[in-house]
Amino acid sequence: MKGKAKVKNYFYLIVGILCILFAGTQTWNGLQAILPALHGSNIESSITTVFTYQWYIIIAENLVFGMALLIMAFQKNGAKVKNAAWVIIAMLFVRGLATALVTMLLGISDVGNLLTSTIAISVLLVLLLLGVRVKDQSAACHTV
């Protein structure tokens, strides 16, 4: 059964799927509501351009995280995979912190959107932290 890929870390697999799902919902939300409203407004075109490409950067980032985590889920849970997970954890934490701080500093009253993204990022972070703690099962099997 060497040809069959086996999941080594289900936490990475779940977070990878969630990241790809989040990229999809970000795209859907942007195309259906946010970007049409932005481009139909009186906001200067340079600002709408910056906002639009920032929106797509988040989508691309989520896709890259998702694909990387899906690949990592099938790799031996070695130091390189854990290091990559720690980088993703740091980036998601900083993204969530920046979002929360900017929202609070600007005094934006729609805390519901902040709460939703905070919960989503918190779930990803907890699952990733659990994934980092998973022991390498292949090493245990060879010692028996």
Q: How many domains is the chain partitioned into structurally?
A: 1
What's the rounded Cα separation, in Å, for the pair 56 and 135?
36
Q: Which residues contact 98 (CB under 8 A, 6 or more apart)?
A: none
Determine, yes or no, domain membership for 139: yes
HSE-CB for 6 with a 13 A CA cutoff: 9
Determine, yes or no, domain membership for 87: yes
Determine, yes or no, domain membership for 1: no
Is residue 66 within 8 Å of 128, Cβ to Cβ?
no
Task: Output the tens digit of pLDDT for each of the chain's 144 residues.
Answer: 566 889 999 999 999 999 999 999 999 988 888 888 888 888 888 888 888 898 899 999 999 999 999 999 999 868 889 999 999 999 999 999 998 888 888 877 667 778 888 899 999 999 999 999 987 655 444 443
Q: Provide the whole-model pTM.
A: 0.84
Which range of residues forms the domain containing residue 35? 10-143
What's the rounded Cα separation, in Å, for the pair 13 and 69?
6
Determine, yes or no, domain membership for 3: no
Determine, yes or no, domain membership for 5: no
Determine, yes or no, domain membership for 70: yes
Q: Which pLDDT belongs to residue 141? A: 44
Is residue 78 helix, strand or coil? coil
Is residue 127 within 8 Å of 69, Cβ to Cβ?
no
